[in-house]
Amino acid sequence: MRVLVVEDDKETAQTVATGLRRAQMAVDVAFDGAGGLERALRNDYDVIVLDRDLPGMHGDTVCAELIAAGCRSRVLMLTAAATTEDLVDGLGLGADDYLPKPFDFPALVARIGALARRSHPAVPPVLRHADLVVDTARCTAHRRGRPLALAPKEFGVLELLLASRGRVVSAEELLERVWDEVTDPFTTAVKITLSRLRSKLGDPPIIETVAKRGYRI
């Protein structure tokens, strides 16, 4: 799952980003509305966590621009103002959910996960294939009832492949959806991660390499 956090308070933004990465998400950060809008239109995010009260380009404007551009990312709007009017205004602009500050971090993670499962296309909270079960809400994976100790990127790759329902997923798409924007596009991280993931999944193998195209379950 790939997430963009747009928050002008740098300490808050980095704290949120660190926590989301620990929850096995790939996270990019922008500290102003213009930068957030530019990143959101350039990259394919599952969820955008958008502070409403941004200086310069207000969060309302960012949200409206995203909707006008046909952005498919789900938008979770954050605000220090928790009135009913603010809630109605934020959702009326096209935001998918709304969370007042201060918030409990587990609630933020849960809402991001719920929004991500509704995006391109809807993904169920529990993904299954044969004897493999992946719970995307709890970030757990089991095969034949045995828990799998997956690193965040391994879990992200497995989740994306399962959610693709047999579709071939290119290495470029895996890199874009599971890693963040600071990753070297020429990295061998995808191949290395897939090798480790296959080892942990064991036999019989369930990830197929499709020559010159990518990978699929």
Asked whether the domain spanning 126-216 has the same topology as the one spanning 2-116, the reply is no
Sheet holding 146-147, edge to edge: 126-129, 132-135, 140-143, 146-147
Q: Does residue 181 register a pLDDT over 70?
A: no
Tokens representing 188? 């061998």
Rg (CA), the chain: 18
Q: Model-level pTM greater than 0.75? A: no
Residue 100's pLDDT is: 84
DSSP 74: E
Query: Is the peptide bond preceding residue 102 cis, with omega within 30 degrees of 0?
Result: yes
Amino acid type, 26: A
Among 25-34, 66-75, 184-193, where is mean pLDDT lowest? Answer: 184-193
Most confident of 40-44, 46-50, 76-80, 183-187: 46-50
Which sign does the torsion angle of CA 14, 18, 21, 23 carry? negative
Q: What is the mean pLDDT of residues 90-100?
A: 75
Residue 44's pLDDT is: 83
Cβ(57)–Cβ(8) below 8 Å: no
Tokens representing 211? 């020559």
Hey, which residues does 5 pair with through a beta bridge?
A: 29, 49
Extents of the domains making up the chain: 2-116, 126-216
d(CA 41, CA 20): 21
Residue 176's pLDDT is: 80
If you classify domain 2-116 with CATH, what class do you get? Answer: alpha beta
DSSP 137: T
Residue 204's pLDDT is: 92
Cβ(51)–Cβ(59) below 8 Å: yes
Band of pLDDT at residue 30, cut at 50, 70 and 90: very high
Tokens representing 127? 């993904």
Tokens representing 103? 């918030």
List the helix and strand counts (H, then E) for the chain. 8, 11
Fold classification of 126-216 is Arc Repressor Mutant, subunit A (1.10.10)
Q: Crossing angle for the helix pair 189-201 and 171-178, nearest 10 degrees?
A: 90
Tens digit of pLDDT for each residue in 104-149? 898 899 889 888 877 655 566 788 999 999 988 788 999 999 999 9
